[in-house]
Amino acid sequence: MVSTVGVIFSSINEEDIPELTKVRSTGSIPFGGRYRLVDFALSNMVNSGITTVGMITKNNYQSLMDHLGSGKYWDLARKEGGLILLPPYSGETETLYKNRLEALKGATSFIKKANEDFVILADSDAVYKLDYSKVIEAHIKNNADITLVYHEHEIERSHYYIVLETDKNDKITDVQINPTAGGVQKHYMNVMVARTSFLLRTIQNAFQHGYTSFGRDILSPGVKMYNLYAYKFDGYYANINSLKAYFNANMDLLKKEVRHEIYGDRSIYTKVNDSAPAKFADTAVVKNSLVSDGCIIEGTVENCVLFRGVKIGKGAVVKNCVLMTDNIVGENCNLSYVVSDKNSVIRDNRVLAGCEIQPYFINKGSLI
């Protein structure tokens, strides 16, 4: 691996999914039974051989800090480098950053100090497995100034997204922000590689000119000014930009090919805790579901993702649900298309239902 420093934006795009980011940053949204969204970008970095990672935080980052700790679960508790939290107001900003560019400005002292040749920037609102070192290889081969990673799929509109156009050599010919045209597009994954010196110079220059948007003021005009290249990622990619997308991505894990791609080689790391193994009672009926440690199942569970410590009471029927850590479902409940945040209690005999395009959401710590 060529010498590279990683930077992860842990709280960007929070407004996309307010239900889940009310109490936490995007990166610490629980996902897939025992993970947090940040685990994917962070594990990708570690698996690409990156040993210095800066984590840009904003507000609500207590839960993220609790999750990351010293970074030891990602093998990033290091004497040199390792995982470094970059709280707001760090570095050279005077106010809480308002956009990606200001956030990066706050990280410049970290990036300088890391003193690596390349920088890779990634968001933490997506589920995918990508060896970033391949992106850097392509970057070097193309002699690019900036390489943007994209995934081709039908665009689901969110509050802010970037679409790329490229020529046959992967050279970027246009960077469009929130285009209105639908259909299959090259969706920029907010994963970007640049030479450290180039990035620092560009950030400095942007501030001197009063720029405020990385996409609008640097990438879009950059098509003409710089060597902008694209890297196509064609594995599984889920951008968690709405509650529906969150629900669907969890459900995708029940498909063997997705589950094996994401989890197969056990290389997504996360904080480990010591829950007892999952327990299935005499009365348990479990079909097509992910069941985490600490679960106790006495009822019927179908097409569900159950996080740690979920209890399903006798006679309860739970279908197509995502139940986060320590949810308790009482006896004879009937739940379908429910996404329930952590620590909620659903009393006996309750009937709750959402639907595929609009799952019913239960706030953290609710009593229903």
Partner 1 sequence: MLRKKECVAMLLAGGQGSRLYALTSNIAKPAVSFGSKYRIIDFPLSNCINSGIDTVGVLTQYQPLVLNEYVGNGQPWDLDRTFGGVHILSPYEAKTDTSWYKGTANAIYQNIRFIKMYDPEYVLILSGDHIYKMDYNKMLNAHKAAKADCTIACMQVPIKEASRFGILNTNADGSIYEFEEKPKKPKSDLASMGIYIFTAEKLFKYLEEDDKDPSSEKDFGKNILPKMLAAGERMFSYRFEGYWKDVGTITSLWEANMDLLGVVPNFELTDRENVIHSRSPLAPPAYVEGEVINSIVATGCEVEGKVSNSVIGTNCTIEKGAEVNDSVLMGNITVKSGAKINYSIIDEDVTICEKAVIGAAREDAEKIESKTSGITVLGRGISVGKGAKVPAGEIVDRNV
Question: Under the rule (CB under 8 A), what is the footprint of partner 1?
Answer: 32-34, 72-73, 254, 259, 263, 266, 268-270, 272-294, 296, 298, 305-307
CB of 262 to partner 1, least distance (A): 8
In terms of CB distance, is 4 or 44 closer to partner 1?
Answer: 44
- Would you state the structure tokens that stand for residue 108, as one six-digit string? 């410049």
Sheet holding 296-297, edge to edge: 296-297, 311-312, 328-329, 345-346
Q: How many CB atoms lie within 10 A of CB 74?
A: 24
CB of 350 to partner 1, least distance (A): 21
CB of 40 to partner 1, least distance (A): 13
CB of 286 to partner 1, least distance (A): 4
CB of 266 to partner 1, least distance (A): 6
Residue that the structure tokens 């309750």 belong to: 350
In terms of CB distance, is 278 or 362 closer to partner 1?
Answer: 278
Give me the phi and psi of 3, to 5 degrees please.
-65, 120
Q: How many CB atoms lie within 10 A of CB 196?
A: 18
In terms of CB distance, is 163 or 296 closer to partner 1?
Answer: 296
In terms of CB distance, is 216 or 259 closer to partner 1?
Answer: 259
- In this structure, are residues 325 and 290 in contact, taking their beta carbons and an 8 Å threshold? no
CB of 296 to partner 1, least distance (A): 7
> Which own/partner pairs from 202-205 qualify as long-range (CB within 8 Å, at least 24 positions apart)?
203/101, 203/104, 203/105, 203/108, 204/108
CA dist 57 and 68 (Å) reads 12
CB of 186 to partner 1, least distance (A): 30
In terms of CB distance, is 164 or 291 closer to partner 1?
Answer: 291
In terms of CB distance, is 226 or 263 closer to partner 1?
Answer: 263
Q: How many CB atoms lie within 10 A of CB 90?
A: 18
Written as one letter, the residue type at 43 is S
In terms of CB distance, is 21 or 48 closer to partner 1?
Answer: 48
CA dist 156 and 75 (Å) reads 35
In terms of CB distance, is 75 or 117 closer to partner 1?
Answer: 75
CA dist 258 and 108 (Å) reads 36
CB of 229 to partner 1, least distance (A): 34
Residue 296 forms beta bridges with which residues?
279, 311
Distances (CA, A) of 34 to 47, 148, 166, 169, 336: 19, 30, 38, 40, 21
